[in-house]
Amino acid sequence: MTVTAPQGFRSAGIAVGLKSTGKPDLALVVNDGPHRAAAVVFTSNRAQANPILWSRKVAQGGPARAVILNSGGANCFTGDFGYQTTRLTAEAVAAVLGGDADPEQILVCSTGLIGSGDQAFRDKIVGNVPALAAALSDDDTTAPAAILTTDSVEKTAVHEGDGWRIGAMAKGAGMLAPGLATMLVVLTTDALIDDAAADRALRRATSVSFDRLDSDGCMSTNDQVTLLVSGASGATPTDDEFTAALASVCDELAGKLQGDAEGAGHDIDIEVRGAASVADAVEVGRSVARNNLFKAAIFGNDPNWGRVLAAIGTTEAQFDPYAVDVSFNGVRLCHAGGPDRPVDECDLTPRQTHVAIDLFAGTHAATIRTNDLTHDYVHENSAYSS
Amino acid sequence: MTVTAPQGFRSAGIAVGLKSTGKPDLALVVNDGPHRAAAVVFTSNRAQANPILWSRKVAQGGPARAVILNSGGANCFTGDFGYQTTRLTAEAVAAVLGGDADPEQILVCSTGLIGSGDQAFRDKIVGNVPALAAALSDDDTTAPAAILTTDSVEKTAVHEGDGWRIGAMAKGAGMLAPGLATMLVVLTTDALIDDAAADRALRRATSVSFDRLDSDGCMSTNDQVTLLVSGASGATPTDDEFTAALASVCDELAGKLQGDAEGAGHDIDIEVRGAASVADAVEVGRSVARNNLFKAAIFGNDPNWGRVLAAIGTTEAQFDPYAVDVSFNGVRLCHAGGPDRPVDECDLTPRQTHVAIDLFAGTHAATIRTNDLTHDYVHENSAYSS
């Protein structure tokens, strides 16, 4: 159980031929209520896929009944034909749900190669919605696999509250850099919270989790993180309690996305301390995370603190370059902007890598998750569309 | 002849043991006047090497007599000891030049591994200044090799004006991303122009050349572009004439730096047209140039226009994602934000790669030079300090 761990949800995942491998590629998550609140955050990329354009309208309109997700094609830069595909998909879902279901209450997510979205793509999705609906179950385990692209493992999480739960599934292995979200994620809960509280909680949770994951500096056109609220448990956690639980689930998923990033050899947590503000800490962490020379050095197990300082120097953050400390895996290699412990005291062979930067400019902190720049990354991303 | 092509200059390059290979690693360019105007642009990285800290003071102080440059060590993050090394270097040069030479008229440039700058480094430089001065010649060919690091070829340029010349030498093969400059460059001229004109011309020339080279998104701590003016020809080109010539020399050198970038397989010129402003065109070009997925695709000879649009979408530039055209090597693959010509019509096997982006948002344009992301880049930069 993942997104169906909370009460009031059904899900399913089936194969409809979008992936050439024949693996599952179409998933549906239905909120059976009674509450049906929803909150969604989208990519901040201004080049947005058709499902994003559609789902933005749905999110503005109020309650959401379901979210349908496909892998095997992003339906991005496919013009009006692609947008109509998204609309027809939502209409097909509303039709099979029956009753009072409205197409404008159906969220749509797509992931895969940008530009794909032809007639065959449309037919495979729309024509298979009835089969997908027939597979719906409140004890489902098939949905998470159907949203994967280059991911090597399913990514799920469950939080147990006091009489309520959060369930989650996620995909994402490349283009992991945030605008708002960085991937496709569906979060479900049977806690009884209203729309405004759900929206606040989702924005706070994503800002400290998915927004701090920056694997390769590239922002997707299709990212969407959706929270569906059934309220079926009747339990009413406080705002803080629910937000903390949601943030914990999102952080767990962010760690799983980092751990499965395309071609990565190291999972690097860049902890920035002593910053004048959280924004400064995030800016410094992200600048280091996006520095190709630093990332290539980590691939080579080289704790190159000079490249860390050079990356910090490109930011607007408050700091004195000659008052900065940098540690790799607990060994302080740079103190006050100069050499400290010998570099060979530091072992970077483990996949988990911790870089601690102290700016000595304040009391704020943030950790950015990233990955190294490897031969496998170059290979996978030069061969992706072939 | 390179920096000694104009009248009034002598130069030399010798090996002093900074490079483990025994290749030349110390160069000197002397302005014998009569005019001795100078203009300098520096890296905008806030983490700055000791020679940058020193040379900034020199540049503020007025005329410059000479510039001494070493490879084999950046003298960056080496603390006060490193700064004193730079000061002692300038004093040694002033002493051998004799007469009215003042240490505060001697520019210093260093390049190589960040953090290096110990007693041996100091002794090799300061102790060899007399030998370097003894090698000075007004018909020199040895200086350009002495400033190279991972460069595979010497980079020089000469412009012939009407009775005056510009000479130039440059180094730079990695960390090629601009703040102001992106490398070490020495430009010399015997045109008779005043300090203010030299400064204006240098800033205008670098802003449209070196500032538009972004090989790997990483900004150095040591970049310095120096223009020395001897006035020895007595010729007085107009401001526009001199600026155009200087920009042409800088653009030629930028092309040579791009062509020798570490591990690169493609030289990519990203031409952005139809922009609402030059700043928009530069922002869009740079965003594409820094997108690792785009760069890896070009390595694989994949004209992945979707990644171009995704990169444009992260900018603040004026554009409508559904009105953008993108061509690769003259083949328009994306029209109005959707697919146009078949991708297999485009041949990306030549090293020279031209990506044209039309934003249809105005009349401004700019071209950003970059390189692809390759296995060799990852290899060279993961093994650099070993």
3-class secondary structure per residue, B183-249: CEEEEEECCCCCHHHHHHHHHHHHHCCHHHECCCCCECCCCEEEEEECCCCCCCCCHHHHHHHHHHH
- The predicted structure's pLDDT at residue A266: 95
**Chain B within 8 Å of A149 (Cβ-Cβ)?**
no
Please name the residues in contact with B303: beta carbons below 8 A apart, sequence gap of 6 or more: B297, B328, B329, B331, B333, B343, B346, B348
Q: Cα-Cα-Cα-Cα dihedral of B114, B118, B122, B128, to 10°?
A: -90
pLDDT 10s digits, A237-279? 999 999 999 999 999 988 888 888 888 899 999 999 999 999 9
Q: What is the pLDDT of residue B386?
A: 38
| In contact, B318 and B300? CB cutoff 8 Å | no
Are the beta carbons of B93 and B136 closer than 8 angstroms?
no
Q: Which residues of chain B have a CB within 8 Å of the CB of A300?
A: 381-383, 386
Pairing of strands B66-70, B106-110: parallel
Asked if the Cβ–Cβ distance from B300 to A382 is below 8 Å, we say: yes
Instruction: Examine the pLDDT at A354 and tell me if it is beyond 60.
Output: yes
pLDDT at A386 over 50: no
pLDDT reported for residue B225: 86
**Beta pairing, strands A37-42 & A224-229:** antiparallel
Active site residue B182: yes
Nearest Cα neighbor of A6 from A275, A197, A242, A205 is A242
**Residue B239 CB-half CA count within 13 A:** 10
| A window 287-316, beta carbon within 8 A of B | 290-293, 296-297, 299-300, 302, 304-307, 309-315
Burial class (CB in 10 A: 0-12, 13-18, 19+), B21: exposed
Nearest CB to A385 within list B46, B76, B304: B304
pLDDT of residue A384: 54
CB under 8 Å to B139, separation ≥6 — which residues? Answer: B1, B4
Residue A146 has pLDDT above 60, yes or no: yes
Contact list, A45 vs chain B (CB under 8 Å): 310, 313-314
First to last CA, chain A: 35
| A150 interface with B at CB cutoff 8 Å | no
A356 bridge partner residues: A271, A327
**CB distance A304–B385 less than 8 Å?**
yes
B74 to chain A, closest Cα gap in Å:
11
Tally of residues, chain B? 386
* Residue A264 contacts B where some CB pair is shorter than 8 Å: no
Rounded Cα distance between B147 and B126, Å, is 16
Closest by CA position to B356, among listed B293, B246, B271, B247: B271
Distance CA B169, CA B156 (A): 4
In angstroms, how far is CA A246 from the centroid of its own chain?
Answer: 13
Q: What is the DSSP string of A210-271?
A: GGGB-SSS-B-SS-EEEEEE--TT-----HHHHHHHHHHHHHHHHHHHHHT-TT-S-EEEEE
Q: Is B157 exposed, middle or buried (0-12, 13-18, 19+ CB in 10 A)?
A: buried
Q: Where in chain A is the domain with CATH 3.60.70.12?
A: 9-259
Whole-angstrom distance, CA of residue B333 vs CA of residue B329: 10
Average pLDDT (A144-164) is 92
Fold category of A267-382 in CATH: Ubiquitin-like (UB roll) (3.10.20)
3-state secondary structure of B155: strand
Query: How many whole angstroms separate alpha carbon B221 and alpha carbon B315?
Result: 26
Residue intervals in chain B for CATH 3.10.20.340? 267-382
**Distance from CA of residue B299 to its chain's centroid?**
24
Alpha-carbon separation of residue B325 from B319, B334, B360, B367 (angstroms): 11, 5, 8, 16
Quick one: angle between helices A239-259 and A195-207, nearest 10? 40
Place of tokens 């950046």: B74
Are the beta carbons of B383 and A300 separated by less than 8 Å?
yes
Task: Give the mutation candidate from B180, B214, B314, B349 for the A interface (greatest A CB count, under 10 A).
Answer: B314
User: Considering chain A, what is the average pLDDT of its residues?
Assistant: 90
Q: What is the spatial distance between Cα A344 and Cα B155, in angstroms, rounded to a whole number?
A: 36
Mean pLDDT for the stretch of residues A117-139 = 95
**Does pLDDT of A181 surpass 50?**
no
Would the CB atoms of B221 and A309 count as touching at under 8 Å?
Answer: yes
The reply to whether ipTM tops 0.95 is: no
Q: Using the structure block, give the residue that is written with the tokens 């697919």.
A: B339
Give pLDDT tens digits for B129-180: 999 999 999 999 999 999 998 888 899 999 999 999 999 998 887 655 544 3
Q: How far apart are CA B133 and CA B334, in angstroms?
A: 58
pLDDT of residue A139: 95
Please state at what angle helix A305-312 crosses helix A278-289, rounded to 10 degrees: 130
Identify the helix (H) or strand (E) that includes residue B38. Answer: strand B37-42
Give a three-class secondary structure readout of B5-23: CCCCEEEEEECCCCCCCCC
Tell me the CA distances in angstroms from B256 to B151, B252, B271, one per residue in order: 10, 6, 18
Q: Reply yes or no: is the peptide bond before residue A34 cis, omega within 30 of 0.
A: yes
Contacts of A174 in chain B (CB under 8 A): 293
**Residue A160 forms beta bridges with which residues?**
A165
What pLDDT sits at residue A175? 56
Mean pLDDT of A150-177: 85
pLDDT number for residue A261: 82
CATH number of A9-259: 3.60.70.12
Element housing A369 (H / E): strand A364-371
Give the closest of B221, B293, B319 to A310, CB-based.
Answer: B221
Q: What is the pLDDT along chain B (386 residues), one digit of tens a residue?
A: 799 999 999 999 999 999 989 999 999 999 999 998 899 988 878 788 899 999 999 998 888 999 999 999 889 888 899 999 999 999 999 999 987 889 999 999 998 877 677 899 999 999 999 999 999 999 999 999 999 988 888 999 999 999 999 999 988 876 555 443 347 888 999 999 998 999 999 999 988 888 888 777 777 777 888 899 999 999 999 999 999 999 999 999 888 888 888 888 999 999 999 999 999 999 999 999 988 889 999 999 999 998 899 889 889 999 998 899 999 999 999 999 888 999 999 999 999 999 999 999 999 999 998 999 999 888 887 875 43
Confidence of residue A180 (pLDDT cuts 50, 70, 90): very low
Specify the higher pLDDT residue, B152 or A183.
B152
What pLDDT digit, counting tens, does each position of A277-309 carry? Answer: 999 999 999 999 988 889 999 999 999 998 899
